[in-house]
Amino acid sequence: MAMLSRVTSEIYGLLGSATLLGLAAGGYTYAAMWPASRLFGPALTAPPRPGELALTFDDGPNPACTPRLLDVLASHGVRAAFFHVGRYAQAEPLLVRRIAEAGHVIGNHSWSHPNLAFTSAADVREQLVRTSDTLAQIVGQPVRYFRPPFGGRRPYVLRVARELGMTPVLWNAITNDWSEPSADRIAQSHMRKIHRNQRRGYATTIVLHDGGHLVLNANRDPSVTAADLLISLCKHTHKFVSLDEWNRPG
């Protein structure tokens, strides 16, 4: 009986340890990956200005789709933020320069799009420094914004970004536009999120993708068309703003 009691106690102890490890892993995943989490540090998402929208695009520059997107934005007079993968920017400097010259914000999206929540400290710094240096050389000015790939971050990632003079940027509206073939479904999904955020009293930071982190010339035509639809649906009821309007001192 005593032996059975000891075995039972050890089993419960192991189960308890496993439960604690599971809770710790779940807590880390939430803090590192959930856009609304601030457990690992602050980030710019969307202020309490429910009539405003910020369009942001990830994973470019993409010569297959970004030029048409720039034409769409220009036709509506809307400025956006483009978070570039460094290796693509290095391959397409003229396109990056065109984006900047059109008045859009240029952001750092790492060099090769790893999940920085699980990347070594040395590699995190190299990913951010190399990308910022490349973009600054192309556009002739420092990079002021950073979006972690997949949203993955930890305190060190955010600290390095701020040491480099960048504001981390997350979001409160995203869809699977990288795999959804219907531009209308992408746009309608974002409209629901915009209305949800508005009911809660907040602006909306929209994430779409003009590129794909696995290949340079990814097909992002549905995302480009969805951006056009969204602007058309919202331009008479909302104000499209640049991230700079939300990130002014004071």
Do 177 and 215 belong to one domain? yes
Over the range 158-176, which residues count as b (16 or more CB within 10 Å of their CB) and which as e?
bebbeebebbbbbbbbbbe
The mean pLDDT value for 225-239 works out to 97
Residue 190 maps to a domain:
yes
Cβ atoms of 205 and 50 within 8 Å: the answer is: no
Q: What is the pLDDT of residue 22?
A: 52
Q: What is the pLDDT of residue 7?
A: 44
- The rounded distance, in Å, linking the Cα atoms of 107 and 246 is 15
Do 1 and 59 belong to one domain? no
Q: What is the pLDDT of residue 16?
A: 58
- The rounded distance, in Å, linking the Cα atoms of 92 and 216 is 10
Residue 158 maps to a domain:
yes
Residues spanned by the domain of 7: 1-33
Do 95 and 158 belong to one domain? yes
Look up the pTM and report it. 0.90
CATH number at residue 212: 3.20.20.370
Which candidate in 58, 59, 177, 228 is catalytic? 58
Cβ atoms of 218 and 62 within 8 Å: the answer is: yes
Which candidate in 84, 104, 190, 209 is catalytic? 209
Do 3 and 86 belong to one domain? no
- The rounded distance, in Å, linking the Cα atoms of 121 and 114 is 13
Do 65 and 21 belong to one domain? no
- Please say if 210 is a catalytic residue: no
Q: What is the pLDDT of residue 23?
A: 41
Residue 47 maps to a domain:
no
Q: What is the pLDDT of residue 21?
A: 47
- Please say if 221 is a catalytic residue: no
Do 167 and 221 belong to one domain? yes
Do 85 and 155 belong to one domain? yes
Q: What is the pLDDT of residue 108?
A: 99
Do 19 and 122 belong to one domain? no
- The rounded distance, in Å, linking the Cα atoms of 224 and 230 is 10
Residue 45 maps to a domain:
no
> In total, how many domains does the chain have?
2
Q: What is the pLDDT of residue 136?
A: 98
Residue 40 maps to a domain:
no
Residue 41 maps to a domain:
no
The mean pLDDT value for 111-129 works out to 98
Do 28 and 56 belong to one domain? no
The pLDDT of residue 63 is above 50: yes
Residue that is written with structure tokens 């951006």 in the block = 227
Residue 229 maps to a domain:
yes
Q: Summarize pLDDT for 168-187 with one digit per residue, the tens.
A: 999 999 999 999 999 999 99
Q: What is the pLDDT of residue 6?
A: 58
Q: Summarize pLDDT for 190-220 with one digit per residue, the tens.
A: 999 999 999 999 999 999 999 999 999 999 9
- The rounded distance, in Å, linking the Cα atoms of 232 and 216 is 28
Q: Summarize pLDDT for 2-55 with one digit per residue, the tens.
A: 554 554 555 456 545 445 445 455 678 888 898 988 899 999 999 999 999 999
Q: What is the pLDDT of residue 34?
A: 86
Do 58 and 27 belong to one domain? no
- The rounded distance, in Å, linking the Cα atoms of 34 and 133 is 28
Distance, CA of 9 to chain centre: 47
The mean pLDDT value for 119-133 works out to 98
Do 135 and 170 belong to one domain? yes
Q: What is the pLDDT of residue 20?
A: 43
Do 183 and 233 belong to one domain? yes
Residue 38 maps to a domain:
no
Q: Summarize pLDDT for 72-89 with one digit per residue, the tens.
A: 999 999 999 999 999 999
Q: What is the pLDDT of residue 233?
A: 97
